[in-house]
Copies of this chain bind each other. A is one copy, B any other.
Amino acid sequence: MSVTAAKGFTAAGIAAGIKENGNPDLALVVNDGPRRAAAGVFTSNRVKAAPVLWSEQVLKGGQVSAVVLNSGGANACTGPKGFQDTHATAEKVAEVLGRGAIEVAVCSTGLIGVLLPMDKLLPGVETAAAQLSEHGGEKAAIAIKTTDTVHKTSVVTKDGWTVGGMAKGAGMLAPGLATMLVVLTTDAALESDVLDKALRAATRTTFDRIDSDGCMSTNDTVLLLASGAAEVTPEYEEFAEAVRQVCDDLGQQLIRDAEGASKDIKVEVVNAASEDDAVEVGRSIARNNLLKCAIHGEDPNWGRVLSAIGTTKAAFEPDQLNVAINGVWVCKNGGVGEDREKVDMRYREVHIVADLAAGSETATIWTNDLTADYVHENSAYSS
């Protein structure tokens, strides 16, 4: 399953010793062709990790033969040495596989500002290469975990072709709670421009609308590799939808595994004047710490929803706003609506609808509650 569900791919996941606790920390995904078209989207953070700077260059060529991913260190803010290390990693993969380094994408995740232990990473590449297998997708997904409690994979199989993928992290492409790394593979025969179009369309409404804690990573990367091994070229719309489904599924898995979270919050903005307005309002609600605490306390505190909407530039009139929490319209026309006691907050999923009464556009942002566990996990991360 995972990245090896599609034909033409092998993968491996091993413990190279990058993580001090001995857990798996190095993954390799190889495209055995016959094609090797690829596309990628990266963090919009201006402080980009060395592997992001490298992989952006790789993707400009539209071809990826292999992806090497490590957990246990982000290789971000590591200066020229960090970039040299990324380059050396790609060269090592190229050497072992007999490919060109400029077709080897590199992804890293872990603590910022620490150089990778290259004396462990480079031998690890050899070990991983020796274990490459058509059944290695699961192990690869396990090797990229950091604070993830479970590994995340997804597959959509269509008529003769497949899209599969793995993800780590809990956040969004930009911003992200922690680094989010995603590798998607398909055996469909498609060129890189088609992959790029489908991937950007898919991430825009999936990973880009997951906003666990409003923090943007230096390392977020989503790659889509196409081997062409199925010898099928699907219609664009059908392929794009399959990519979107896999991204959506992996995104939901990220939200459900977000650090310290006890609630998954779906913020649905409706009747906005534009999609941009809907996204701006959804993000503002999703990033409101006071609201996220209230949801944690199972308190349907719609006042905090309204105060978050009020900070945006979106088109709306304050006295026309409506808010529903778990199906109960607790705020009508900017004031008190149905009895808040009717709101059942016992379940993990919480559904907030913000009606701007200003148009017909909509957008959904997913976030999590803010919990003491989140604080604990993130105040002890580097110690």
Contact = CB atoms under 8 A, between A and B. Distances in A.
Interface of A: 45-48, 74, 76-79, 81-82, 111-115, 175, 177, 213-218, 287-290, 293-294, 296-297, 299, 301-304, 306-312, 316, 318-319, 321, 331, 333-336, 370-372, 374-383
B297 A380 contact: yes
B310 A218 contact: yes
Contacts of A218: 303, 306-307, 310
Contact of A216 (B47, B215, B307): B307
B217 A378 contact: no
A112 B304 contact: yes
Contacts of A309: 46-47
A368 B321 CA distance: 32
Contact of A319 (B79, B293, B312): B79
Contact of A310 (B177, B216, B289): B216
Contacts of A216: 307, 310-311
Given A303-B113, A304-B112, A379 B296 contact: yes
Main secondary structure of the interface of A (DSSP, over half): loop
Given A216-B311, A333-B79, A302 B113 contact: yes
Contacts of A306: 47, 76-77, 112-113, 218
A297 B372 CA distance: 13
Given A47-B334, A79-B333, A293-B374, A175 B311 contact: yes
Given A47-B310, A114-B336, A301-B382, 8 more contacts: A47-B309, A79-B319, A79-B336, A82-B335, A214-B287, A294-B378, A294-B382, A297-B383
Chain A to chain B: the 8 pairs with minimum beta-carbon distance, closest first: A112-B303, A297-B379, A47-B310, A79-B335, A293-B378, A372-B372, A45-B310, A46-B310
